[in-house]
Amino acid sequence: MARNVGASSQREISQKHDGSEEHLDDEGAAPEDEKSNVAGKKKKKRKPKKKKPAIATGATAQSSPPRVPVASLFAEGHYPAGEEVEYRDENAFRTTSEEKRHLDRMKEDFLAEYRQGAEVHRQVRQWAQRNIKPGQTLTEIAEGIEDGVRALTGHQGLDEGDNIKGGMGFPTGLSINHCAAHYTPNAGNKTVLQKEDVMKVDFGVHLNGRIVDSAFTMTFDPVYDNLIAAVKDATNTGVREAGIDVRMSDIGAAVQEAMESYEVEICGKVLPVKSIRNLNGHDIIQYSIHGGKSVPIVKGKDQTKMEEGETFAIETFGSTGNGYVRDDMETSHYAKKPDAPNVPLRVSSARSLLSSISKNFGTLPFCRRYLDRLGHEKYLLG
């Protein structure tokens, strides 16, 4: 059986600031001793009131499972910087040009939402990597990640339109072994994670439609360590090669060279690691996880260039199989097409379902579990 591994990355920027509040308690002063008017009566003294312990109202660290909104951990709105890659070659002037630096600073509001979403993803991702273990069901894993994202963004998504403001950018993908990507457990799924499994974990965070798309692979057997190393190297290569005016074909060639320089030994057999040629990275636009551009992970002839102001997810997939995937298994991800034609629906249940999807997800991807969460029933008939 082929084992497929995936990873993806985006760039984030900023600096970290932890805010906390200090509270002072009022100390009750002991009253003056009162003199007794009765002869021979001893004076009574009141004991001074004990200080009340200070009560901290501002969290300074994340809980486990993650439930503290990142906005309360970074009160001033300055979020940590991610990996920064210097401009290269003909774009090197952008680092030193005062005009270009000024234009970059004008994008601060746009980047702030990405940085916040990236910090949410980082904290939930780290918790997931520590806590996902064999023996858990896929539904348990997915809901644990999604509960964390909703809590940290401050958007539970139960009120109409709240999920469009922030929360899950797309359903949590949990793709095991030969399933390379894009599977999330539907209601009733009882699949249990096994020690020998290779599981790709892919989830998105969004704030105001700015989607952070990042994935990682989990294994519990060191035999797959070299497969993981191949994909990490390929992803880092793709991030390093990406940039303004870079051709997609050049990125794909560099990723493939890095990926396919690795081998993995499984059950005494040495297998080459191959890039999955029909899976790609992609650009991301507001409220749409897939824009119009693809970033290949194999050498090709695509002369399309990355342009200034665009956002891309660099996604790499390595496999011990033949390096090609096909559609299989049940459908689990859904989304409205932004440019879909308006088709009149005759069935009232279908109209009601479409209205709810439009109000709660817009063009963001969703899954059946999300409809269950909103109280929908028999939606497959709609």
Measure CA 278 to chain center.
Answer: 23
Provide the pLDDT confidence category of residue 2 given band limits of 50, 70 and 90: low
> Residue 95's pLDDT is what?
83
> Residue 106's pLDDT is what?
78
pLDDT per position as a tens digit, 322-357: 999 999 989 999 999 988 888 899 999 999 999 999
Provide the pLDDT confidence category of residue 304 given band limits of 50, 70 and 90: very high
Question: 224 near 234, Cβ under 8 Å?
Answer: no
> Residue 54's pLDDT is what?
41
> Residue 23's pLDDT is what?
36
pLDDT, mean of residues 166-188: 96
Q: What is the DSSP string of 62-96?
A: --SS--S-HHHHSTT--PPP-------GGGTHHHH
pLDDT per position as a tens digit, 270-301: 999 999 999 999 999 999 999 999 999 999 99
Is the pLDDT score of 268 beyond 60? yes
Provide the pLDDT confidence category of residue 56 given band limits of 50, 70 and 90: very low
- Average pLDDT of the chain is 87
Range scoring the smallest mean pLDDT among 17-21, 64-68, 315-319: 17-21
Question: 235 near 206, Cβ under 8 Å?
Answer: no
Provide the pLDDT confidence category of residue 36 given band limits of 50, 70 and 90: very low
> Residue 31's pLDDT is what?
41
Is the pLDDT score of 219 beyond 90? yes
pLDDT per position as a tens digit, 64-111: 999 999 999 998 889 988 888 888 888 888 888 888 888 877 777 788
Question: 289 near 211, Cβ under 8 Å?
Answer: yes
Structure tokens given for 48: 């001074």
> Residue 57's pLDDT is what?
45
Range scoring the smallest mean pLDDT among 12-26, 167-181, 207-221, 244-258: 12-26
Range scoring the smallest mean pLDDT among 52-66, 204-218, 307-321, 337-351: 52-66
> Residue 58's pLDDT is what?
65
> Residue 30's pLDDT is what?
41
Is the pLDDT score of 29 beyond 70? no
pTM: 0.84
Q: How far apart are CA 259 and CA 276, in angstroms?
A: 10
Q: Is the dihedral of CA 96, 99, 101, 104 positive or negative?
A: negative
Give the number of other CB atoms < 10 A from CB of residue 157.
23
Selection from 202, 227, 211 nearest residue 8 by Cα: 202
| Cβ burial, residue 141 (10 Å; 0-12/13-18/19+) | buried
Range scoring the smallest mean pLDDT among 92-96, 117-121, 306-310, 313-317: 92-96
> Residue 16's pLDDT is what?
34
Is the pLDDT score of 128 beyond 90? yes
Strand partners, 162: none
Within the chain, residue ranges assigned H as helices are 70-73, 93-96, 98-105, 108-131, 138-153, 162-165, 225-241, 248-259, 348-360, 368-373
pLDDT, mean of residues 189-198: 97
Is the pLDDT score of 14 beyond 90? no
> Residue 45's pLDDT is what?
57
pLDDT, mean of residues 203-213: 97
